[in-house]
Amino acid sequence: MLPPIHKHWIVLAKGLAAPAAAACLLFPLVLPHGGLVAEMIVLALAGLPAAWVWLHWLASTVTITDERVLIQEGVMVRKTKVIPLDRVQDVSTRQNPFGQLLGYGSLEIDTAGRIENEVVNHIPDPQWLREQVFTLLDSFWRGSDTGL
């Protein structure tokens, strides 16, 4: 079993850019006029969206066990997708040039039956994760082939 994998830090950077920019723009405007209360309001207005981005990043994970792939996301409304390993037919990755440079990409899990294929974006080192899934798949099929 692999530990839960969070999305790449680029997700945090993208989400935190707007609150940080807003704080940087507003803070100098209220500093000469306001006081402590105005400064606290600016920090709260920037801090709440930043906290939300961080919580959402923290709650979005991919966990691969010896029996299933779990994809979880959401803070207030939690969504969990469970893909049994015996339904996984293929795992592919996709990386754009920026993702290749920073080490993130998409992981697509092709499944059999009625389970819809799943794409997880902004995964760190998707090729390594794909190889881990294939290793666990090999172990799963060898372990279930005991002749019972």
Residues 38 and 91 in one domain: no
Q: Say if pTM beats, i.e. exceeds, 0.85.
A: no
- How far apart, in whole angstroms, are the C-alpha atoms of residue 30 and residue 27? 5
Sheet of strand 61-64: strand arrangement: 5-6, 61-64, 68-73, 79-84
Residues 26 and 42 in one domain: yes
- How far apart, in whole angstroms, are the C-alpha atoms of residue 112 and residue 120? 18
Q: Which residue has the tokens 């899990």?
A: 109
- How far apart, in whole angstroms, are the C-alpha atoms of residue 108 and residue 92? 5
Considering only CA atoms, which of 146, 148, 147, 79 is closest in space to residue 118? 79
Query: What count of Cα atoms within 13 Å lies in the side-chain half-sphere of residue 80?
Result: 7
- pLDDT for 48-79, tens place per residue? 888 999 999 999 999 999 899 999 999 999 99
Give the range of the structural domain holding residue 99, as residue numbers without chain letter.
61-143
Q: Among 32-41, 100-109, 110-119, which is the least confidently predicted range?
A: 32-41
**Is 1 a domain residue?**
no
For the chain, what percent of residues have pLDDT higher than 90?
58
